[in-house]
Amino acid sequence: MEAILVKKISSKLMCGKVRDCNEGILYSVVGKVIGLKSGSSTYGDWTALKGDFEAWNEKQRCKSHLCFLPDILTLQLEIALADGNDDITFGVEVLKKNNDTTVGYEYEVRNIIPQKETNLLEDLRSKFEKMQNKDEKEKKKRKIIN
């Protein structure tokens, strides 16, 4: 199936009213993020990703330079941009999970192509693990002494 060029990629474009879609994978999307576009509408504030994106499901394949994704992913990508990363690529599946909220569903995002973690997170995790190992060794020494 050939991709069609669209103004923006969104859950509404990919499956219509999300409330009416079946639970499970709504669509897959890959892309490279180069910036953000923000604004307000009658539904509130919004943030879209700018870059190169392609989304698909069993019904269609679309390409765009503007992409609206669930907040749980958009926030991660915003932080990566704020940290100065200029090579932000991703590949995810966007899923719908029914629940008892007023909306009746929530989004889940499954990483297929993981985003690169910043060195800061790697450094913090390494320090944490070293401290955790140090504490465990000290606890074992105390048990031997007692």
Q: What is the pLDDT of residues 53-85, one digit of tens each?
A: 999 999 999 999 999 999 989 998 888 888 888
Q: What is the pLDDT of residues 100-109, one digit of tens each?
A: 999 999 999 9
Average pLDDT over residues 117-134: 73
Give the containing element (helix H, strand E) for 82.
helix 71-82
| Model confidence at 118: pLDDT above 60 | no
CA angle (125 as vertex; 120, 131 as ends), nearest 5 = 125
Cα dihedral sign, 82-46-95-59:
negative
Average pLDDT over residues 17-35: 94
pLDDT band at residue 48 under the 50/70/90 scheme: very high
The Cα–Cα gap between 33 and 115 comes to: 11
| Model confidence at 17: pLDDT above 80 | yes
The Cα–Cα gap between 124 and 108 comes to: 26
Torsion angle (degrees, nearest 10) of CA 112, 113, 114, 115: -130
| Model confidence at 30: pLDDT above 60 | yes
pLDDT mean across residues, the chain: 87
